[in-house]
Structure 1
Amino acid sequence: MTDLRQVSVIIPTYNRASYLQICLNALAALRTDPAIFEIVIVDNNSTDNTQSLVLAFAQAHPDLGVHYLLETNQGLSYARNRAVREANGEFLCFLDDDAPPSPEWLNIILKGFCDPSVGCIGGPALLDYQGQERPPWLKGDLQGLLSGYELPYNKPAVISKVAEFPFGCNMAFRKKVFSEVGLFRTNLDRCGDQVLAAGDTEMIGRVHKAGWKVLYLPQAQVRHLVAPERLKKEYIYRIGKGLATTHILLTADPRPHMILRWFASDLWYTSQMLWGFLIALILRKPLWFDDYMRLWMVASRIPFRFKMLFRGMSTPSQRQSKVVIGE
């Protein structure tokens, strides 16, 4: 894949052709000179019409420099890593296939990278329910489980708190940071229908730890389209379970005293959240389901901690090799 464009817009995708079409149409409408960016679609074993859709789009928009890659190793992190290796741009801008950007999105991100100390940039991901009625129980922090992201800053802000790090549906990096910190951890984030998470957060944490600034740009917006099946409690439970498993992976430490520490921490937080949930339930607070999900996500980690503490449990490797990026 040879192209001399300055920016690579990367979209990993898996069986979501209808949403991908919307995202590609938004990229075609960007108010950015098409000569400076390429579009890299990484198909992670889709069985729908993703390939034919991308090829048709590329034929209809030859000026956009569309590249189609098939990544056969299943998993979002594998798809992202494939793009990091093969993309040509100095800047790598990641979108989800259901996150169409605003017309000025790329221009705003490129202005942010004018500061040479900035290694990562993110912007809001505004939930778009596509005319669907939001369930009355879907309030508060639960909307974050749908990957809605917006910080309370109305101007560019350098961020350092993990809780404020950008989401993977709208994040950008200097390509050279991957040579310093390595690739995305392949035991994190979605893999087919498995809903693990935090590959984006863990990567941005490494970039920040390496001394690069993480910049939030409130005008670099994408819409995050909410599919109908994601407005059901069954999906929220799946996400909650995935986040619990993700937390186990992120805090995995074979040393007995560290396992005991996390086990005790989860027990303590569960007891505190249980009281909060019971009070919310008794008082019939409108956010009681939000409190319940908080409780459930922490409590569901306890069986894993128990097995690690008393029986021993192997967890996927946390090591991540460095990658040599071509010039």
Structure 2
Amino acid sequence: MSLPNAVDYSIIICTYNPDRRLLERCLNAVSLLDTAGLVMEVILVDNNSSSALYTLDYVQFFLNAVPHSKLIVAREQGLSYARIAGIEASVGKYILFFDDDNEPDPEYVQVQKRLHAHYPHVAAWGPGNVNVDFIEGVDDKLAAYATEAFQDRHEVQIGYSNQRTWQGCYPFGTGLCIKREYFESYALLAAKGKFSLSDRKGNQLSSGGDVQMVLYCISTGAAAGVAPELKLTHIIPGKRTKIDYLKKLTYGTSVCYSTCLLEIFPDHLATIKSQMISERKFAFKVLKKYLMLFFDPRPKKALKLAAYIGAVAGDYIALNKPVPSGVLWVLKRLKAI
């Protein structure tokens, strides 16, 4: 079935070597979205998976059952590259991203429509209600941290802002919806090399592309926010609840922020320089915190150390300075890289 001239929403789902339990739930939820009065297309992006997605029976079922859906392949590894490929293949006025472990509420697109009508100055919207579903359970000692790490949130009112640093009301990549013109501008600048963050790449957990896209909207003078009526479930398998995975996720999330901020707002250079600590002090603090883990081996302590290293090392990386060798040694011992 051919697409009409005007498409309201392009849903883009990027995946790499997907877990069937997750992607199948995602696709099923997307197929059940209420699209009354809207024209929607769905683009499933295979980011060069080991087994091609077109060979999977449940993917074929989805493509045959859902109108205006298609599968494309993005050969260059990295979530941002996959998303840009999806944008280039889409024609909708708004781009809506779901990760392959997202299960959106049936009203998700209808709520987006109302938000865009009532808040035209807000360029980026994300879910204000995210429930984390640990499908294989989670260790009690890690439950609170893992829940937060996987973006659990329960807002009671709409919140948005246009501040030039990250705000609590800004949306993450999960369920992110942005007007097409902002994504196209961002993708064009990324293609010219202005933005270096490629988000998750293969099995690497570095991120930043989501944050960068939201802050890019802010840089144009628009706002970004979340709404409690936007609801989805974040589906997390057991392998992602292990301490080593969480350490890598924590480090990967924190280390990218300064680069993300500086590439969008170059005038933050002075601020980043002013908060830099010396290599000697950085290495000393990290080694001291690492040694303390032998006396207090609680997982939360190791995760806090990974976050601290990521935040400070992120300043070094943003300024093209080498991270002290002692810090890198600790990162490897922590299994955070």
C-alpha offsets along residues 106-154 of structure 1, whole Å, 9 cap, x if unaligned? Answer: 1111111113222111113321112x33213325555333x32425x31
The answer to whether the aligner puts 1:174 opposite 2:179 as a matched pair is yes
The answer to whether the aligner puts 1:45 opposite 2:48 as a matched pair is yes
What is the 5 A alignment of 1:297-312? 297-298=310-311, 308=321
In 1: Cα distance, 2:44 partner to 2:306 partner: 34
Normalised by the length of structure 2, the TM-score is 0.76
Q: Please, which of 47, 57, 62 is the counterpart of residue 62 of structure 2? A: 57
Q: Match of 1:321? A: none
The answer to whether the aligner puts 1:67 opposite 2:70 as a matched pair is yes
What is the 5 A alignment of 1:14-93? 14-18=16-20, 19-33=22-36, 36-48=39-51, 50-53=53-56, 54-59=59-64, 61-62=65-66, 64-93=67-96
The answer to whether the aligner puts 1:111 opposite 2:114 as a matched pair is yes
* Identity among equivalent pairs (%): 22
Q: Match of 1:228? A: 238
In 2: Cα distance, 1:301 partner to 1:177 partner: 26
Q: Match of 2:307? A: 294
Q: 1:109/1:269 Cα in 2 relative to 1: closer, same or farther (>3 Å)?
A: farther
Q: Which runs of 5+ in 1 are unaligned?
A: 312-327
In 2: Cα distance, 1:137 partner to 1:236 partner: 12
Give the secondary-structure state (helix, strand or coil) at the position aligned to 1:89.
coil
Q: Match of 1:137? A: 141
In 1: Cα distance, 2:12 partner to 2:87 partner: 9
Q: 1:293/1:241 Cα in 2 relative to 1: closer, same or farther (>3 Å)?
A: closer
Counterpart contact for 1:263–1:306, Cα < 8 Å:
no
Normalised by the length of structure 1, the TM-score is 0.78
Q: 1:309/1:45 Cα in 2 relative to 1: closer, same or farther (>3 Å)?
A: closer
Give the secondary-structure state (helix, strand or coil) at the position aligned to 1:221.
strand
Give the secondary-structure state (helix, strand or coil) at the position aligned to 2:35.
coil
- Report deviation, 1:159: 3.0
In 1: Cα distance, 2:139 partner to 2:84 partner: 36
Give the secondary-structure state (helix, strand or coil) at the position aligned to 1:100.
strand
In 2: Cα distance, 1:103 partner to 1:203 partner: 25
C-alpha offsets along residues 77-112 of structure 1, whole Å, 9 cap, x if unaligned? Answer: 011111112211111110000101011111111111
In 1: Cα distance, 2:144 partner to 2:271 partner: 32
In 2: Cα distance, 1:47 partner to 1:284 partner: 37
Counterpart contact for 1:120–1:207, Cα < 8 Å:
yes
Q: 1:34/1:128 Cα in 2 relative to 1: closer, same or farther (>3 Å)?
A: farther
Counterpart contact for 2:316–2:322, Cα < 8 Å:
no
In 1: Cα distance, 2:152 partner to 2:285 partner: 27
Give the secondary-structure state (helix, strand or coil) at the position aligned to 1:87.
coil
Q: Match of 1:126? A: 131
Q: Please, which of 159, 171, 192 is the counterpart of residue 157 of structure 1? A: 159
Q: Please, which of 215, 237, 253 is the counterpart of residue 205 of structure 1? A: 215
Is the deviation greater in 87-96 or in 44-53? Answer: 44-53
Report the aligned-residue RMSD. Answer: 3.8
Q: Match of 2:276? A: 263
Amino acid aligned to 2:92: G
- Report deviation, 1:247: 3.9
- Report deviation, 1:182: 4.3
Give the secondary-structure state (helix, strand or coil) at the position aligned to 1:56.
helix
Q: 1:135/1:36 Cα in 2 relative to 1: closer, same or farther (>3 Å)?
A: same
Q: Match of 2:332? A: none
In 2: Cα distance, 1:191 partner to 1:294 partner: 20
Counterpart contact for 2:11–2:40, Cα < 8 Å:
yes
In 2: Cα distance, 1:269 partner to 1:261 partner: 14
- Report deviation, 1:8: 0.8
Amino acid aligned to 1:36: V
Q: 1:178/1:301 Cα in 2 relative to 1: closer, same or farther (>3 Å)?
A: closer
Amino acid aligned to 2:207: A
In 1: Cα distance, 2:75 partner to 2:236 partner: 26
